[in-house]
Structure 1
Amino acid sequence: MSDMSSAAVRHLTVDAESAGQRLDNFLLRELKGAPKPLIYRIIRSGEVRVNKARARADTRLQPGDDVRLPPVRLSERADGAQAAVPAREFPVLYEDGWLLVVDKPAGIAVHGGSGVSFGVIEQLRQARPEAPLLELVHRLDRETSGVLLVAKRRSALKRLQDQFRERSTGKTYLALVRGVWPLARKVIDVPLHKYLLPGGQRRVRVTDARDPHGQRSISLVRVLGSVQPPAGWPADAPPMTLLAVTIKTGRTHQIRVHLAHAGHPIAGDDKYGDFEWNRLLARFGLTRMFLHAWQLSIRHPAQDHGLQLQAPLPAELADWGDVRRFL
């Protein structure tokens, strides 16, 4: 494929690996280094054509489709921004010709956007320039660590995303929460509603079945045990429970909002947590949110056998109090 900076009309033919992909994602992959605002501008203006017709960003492409690209030049600023992405590999939990599974650290976004210039996927692409395709299968919150799936083929991406959509995957997180979780409470089936704060930050709240924008959200909770804090912990501070939470739906901030709504916020959660308790936790060494994508079960996208993936709890969480005895 020719360099984007050549500024000439080009036609791309959609191959079988790209079947079902959204137009905007197809262009982001093909026009490496192009800023997202540019991609969406040329789509909205009608300069991008699919089979000679205007198309929307969410148009699903089919094999054989002809995608016309207008003459486009990357600005120096865009080139510089692309070059500034550092190449970085992450601990590999599993890899073959179809998918890559990494252990994402806390504090790193999975992708750039919303004030973040780059994330895990951009750093992986820089570290593996020879890879024809690296695409996120799903997402994790910036402050959540653990199992993250990356597809290496378009067909693998589609099949894995189908599994997530059909809720046939098993996703289990470890969460440390305030208080004693009642053993009898094993299912949280409470719909969630996404909204934006005045500054544009994304938030989620619980709602009810009458809310037309509410999405059904189901979390299964298993108590692992009561966690004893480090030496010197105040006697009047609330107790803590370590939970294994399996989500049957993958809603934004689902576990964080469900557990907070139940009266047991996650330790260190700076959006939905107990801020006074968080300050106490930080004084005793817990300076991040205690939420970790621990286990994920999927079907291999090509060979159709089961894969059981697990990311070890990071040391900053495993070594806090007596957490390690539950692992």
Structure 2
Amino acid sequence: MRYNTLYYNRYKKKKIYLKKSIINLFLKNILFEDKYLIVFNKPHGFAVHGGSGINYGVIEIFREIRKKLTFLELVHRIDRDTSGILILAKKRSILKKMHENLRKKKIYKEYLALTHGYWSHKNKIICLPLSKRKDVKKKKKVYVHENGKPSKTKFKVKKYFNNTTLISAVPITGRTHQIRVHTSQFGHPIIFDKKYGNTEQEKKYILKKNNRLLLHSYKISFIHPKEKTKICIIAPLDEKFKYCLKYFSKK
């Protein structure tokens, strides 16, 4: 594989190699940027940071794209398989304020997901305690457990398709894999969720190139920590997600 540009990661003191196509993809997906924040529409398949066999993630790439910045950190995280809104802070004071707002639930986050089956309008709020442990393959997984951490998600039906439902999910708490586990526990796992989903049922779908997890961090709103203005941002769906919606709407 040939790389176009060699970058030096000053944060972890190791060399990383980036294609120009990755740089262009990241620049194209910046939804908002000022002196204090970057709001980014993270593509599916990118981890938020390197580690566990991954050379680099979103934070390492942005530290190279914005080399002149003396500080750049993730405000929050989303799963590698999930696409959508991710916020980065350019100043430590801004990071601290955004973390405070997250703790006080002053940052509104909304996700879109396509789930198996017909989601009942009665399932508006799911409260189930979640606990992390390793499965039989010694991989970390989240389970519903009475001794787990309290977790709460609000759900709303957006549209019904053929034996699938497009829903919006608003996580009130921010547990690992919260939306994925809550939907799965109620018998409506998110389509193409390899960890918590229905992989046997999905084998019949002819979507080999588009079988990404159909979960997208769609919308965010918050008060700017410095300017004190209200910021409301919507992240467009990528082509794969839109193709899948079209596929299931016709099926």
Q: In structure 1, which of residues 33, 38, 47 is the aligned counterpart of residue 12 of structure 2?
A: 33
The whole-number CA distance in structure 1 between the counterparts of 2:116 and 2:198 is 8
* Secondary structure of the corresponding residue to residue 226 of structure 2: coil
**Residue 154 to residue 323, structure 1, CA distance change in 2 (3 Å):** farther
Map 1:38-77 onto structure 2 (within 5 A).
none
Select which of 14, 25, 30 maps to 1:92. Answer: 30
Displacement after TM superposition at 1:324 (Å): 11
1:294 aligns with 2:227: no
Measured after TM superposition, the shift of residue 285 of structure 1 is 5.6
Pairing partner for 1:138 from 76, 80, 88: 76
AA in 1 matched with 2:218: W
- Deviation, 1:31, is 6.6
Measured on the aligned residues, the alpha-carbon RMSD in Å equals 2.1
Correspondence for 1:118 among 56, 81, 86 = 56
Alpha carbons 1:85, 1:118 under 8 Å: kept: no
Amino acid at match of 1:304: K
**Aligned 8 A contact 1:318 1:324 in 2:** no
Q: Is the Cα–Cα contact under 8 Å of residues 227 and 322 in structure 1 kept in the other structure?
A: no
Between structures 1 and 2, the one with greater strand share = 2
Classify 1:321/1:150 alpha carbon distance in 2 versus 1 (closer, same or farther; 3 Å). closer
Amino acid at match of 1:110: V
Alignment partner of 1:159 out of 93, 97, 120: 97
Amino-acid identity (%): 37
Q: Which of 90, 93, 107 is the aligned partner of 2:45?
A: 107
> 2:52 is matched by which residue type in structure 1?
S
> 1:158-200, CA deviations, whole angstroms, 9 ceiling, x for partnerless residues?
1111111222211110000000001111000111001123655
1:233: which partner in 2?
none
Task: Determine whether 1:188 maps to 2:126.
Answer: yes
Number of paired residues?
236
Give the residue type in structure 2 aligned to 1:220: K
**Alignment partner, residue 113 of structure 2:** 175
Q: What letter matches 1:301 in structure 2? A: P
Unaligned stretches of 5+ in structure 1? Answer: 1-29, 35-78, 229-238
- What do the CA deviations read for 1:107-163 (whole angstroms, capped 9, x no partner)? 110100122111011011111211111110000100100000000111111111111
1:281 Cα deviation from its structure 2 partner: 3.1
Q: Output the CA distance in 2 between the equivalents of 1:324 and 1:277.
A: 14
2:4 corresponds to: none
Greater C-alpha Rg:
1
Q: Which has the higher contact order (CA 8 A, sep 6+)?
A: 2
Which one of the candidate residues 201, 218, 221 is aligned to 2:152? Answer: 218
Give unpaired runs (5+ residues) of structure 2. Answer: 1-8
Deviation of 1:220 (Å): 0.3
2:244 alignment partner, SS class = coil
The TM-score, its normalising length taken from structure 1, stands at: 0.68
